[in-house]
Amino acid sequence: MSSIPYSIEVRHLTKYYGSAPAIKDVSFTVRPGEVVGFLGPNGAGKSTTLRILSGLLRADSGEAYLDGISVARAPEQVKKRIGFMPENNPLPDDLRVIEYLRYRARLKGVSGREVKARVDEVMERCDLTRRARRKLIGSLSKGFRQRVGVADAILNRPAVTIMDEPTIGLDPHQILQIRKLIDGMRGSTSVILSSHILAEVELSCDRVLIINQGRVVATGAPAELRAEFFSRPGYRAEVAGSDDALAEALSPISSGIQTRSEAPDPEGFRKITISSETSDDLSERLLRALAANRRLRLRSFERHNPTLEDIFLAATRRSWEEESPLIAPAEKPSRQTPAEPC
C-alpha cells in the first residue's frame, strides 16, 4: 500500500470541446485501496474525466495527480501506474489466454524474469488457471473474457485500476464472479468503477461519485448519501381502493402526508409511495390505518430504504434544478452538454 494520502487527487479540472464544457471545476480524491463508483448520465463527463486521469487527454485547466505524480507533467509515468479495463474489451480471438497475458506483461514493462510469475499470479486471482489457461480467447464465454480483461488490468500491479462497465452483458452468475474479483482487489489497488448497473455499484463500492452536466453533484458512501437526499423515511404499500378511501385512512396521521400512485393491476391493486414531512417513523401507524379502513384492501406494506438508483435520480434532479430553477427537471436532459467523443 502507498504511504501517500490519496492515490487520486483531482483539483478543479475543466475541459471544453469547442465552446461546450465537458467538465467544469471537477474536484475529488480517492484513497489508496478504495473502491469508488463513478456514476453519471450519458454525456455527463465521466469519459472525459477518466481520459484525463489516464493521461490520454489534457485538461484546459486544473490539476490531477495519480499516486502523487502530476498527470499533466509526467503522463508516461502515470500510465505505468494505471490498469484499465475498457467497456468493450478488445481481446484478440486467435491468441491463447496465457500467450496474450505474457505478451501484455512485456508491453507493460514487466521484466523477463518476472513475466511467468506475474502472469501465473493474475490467472490464479481471476480463476483462469484451470479452465481457461490454454484456451483460445475467441472460444471463451463473455464471463471468462471479462476475467481476462481484469487479469490484464492488474498485471502491472497498478496503483489505480479503472473499470468501465465490467459486468455489462453478463448473466447473474458471471456478475457475482466479477464482483468477487473486485472485492479481492480492495486494499491492493484503488478501483474506479464506472457502471450503469447501480445495484452492482452499491454492492461493490466503498464510496460513490455522481457527476452530471460536467460537475460532481454528490459524493459519499451510500449510507451518507441516503441521509443527505432522503432525511425523512418513506413507505410503500400495495392497496386496492379509491383515492377518497386512501385519504380518509391517512389524513388523521399527519397533515404532511403525500402519496404517489402507480396504475392498478388487473386485480385492482396499485403500488403507493407514501412520504411525510416528519422524520418520525410512522410505519406502525400507517400500517394500522390502511389495514383498518374497510374501503381499502391492503396486500403489502414496507418502510422504503432508498436504493442507489433513488439517490442517483435525486442528485441529478437537484443539479438540474440548481442549474436553472425556472426549467422543470423533466425538460433538462435536452439541455445537457453534447455526448463526449469516443
Q: Which segments of the chain belong to CATH 3.30.70.1150?
A: 231-304
Over residues 21-59, the pLDDT tens digits come to 999 999 999 999 999 999 999 889 999 999 999 888 999
For all residues of the chain together, what is the average pLDDT?
89
Which of 64, 21, 341 has the alpha carbon at shortest distance from 213? 21
Q: Average of pLDDT values for 245-258?
A: 89
pLDDT-based confidence at residue 254 (cuts at 50, 70, 90): confident
Cβ neighbour number for residue 329 with a 10 Å cutoff: 14
Distance CA 21, CA 338 (A): 9
Distance CA 286, CA 253 (A): 7
pLDDT-based confidence at residue 247 (cuts at 50, 70, 90): very high
Over residues 178-223, the pLDDT tens digits come to 999 999 999 999 999 998 889 889 999 999 999 999 999 999 999 8
CATH homologous superfamily for the domain 231-304: ACT-like. Chain A, domain 2 (3.30.70.1150)
Q: What angle do CA 29, 30, 34 make, to 5 degrees?
A: 160
Using CA atoms, how far residue 15 sits from 72, 134, 211, in Å, is 13, 44, 14
Q: Which amino acid is at 272?
A: I
CATH homologous superfamily for the domain 8-81+158-227: P-loop containing nucleotide triphosphate hydrolases (3.40.50.300)
pLDDT-based confidence at residue 2 (cuts at 50, 70, 90): low
Please say if the pLDDT value at position 327 is more than 60.
Answer: no
Q: Specify burial of residue 111 (Cβ count, 10 A radius: 0-12, 13-18, 19+).
A: exposed
Please say if the pLDDT value at position 242 is more than 70.
Answer: yes
Q: Which segments of the chain belong to CATH 3.40.50.300?
A: 8-81+158-227
Distance CA 249, CA 293 (A): 6
236 contacts 271 by C-beta, under 8 angstroms: yes
Our measurement of the distance from residue 256's CA atom to the centroid of its chain's CA atoms, rounded to an integer in Å, reads 34
35 contacts 204 by C-beta, under 8 angstroms: yes
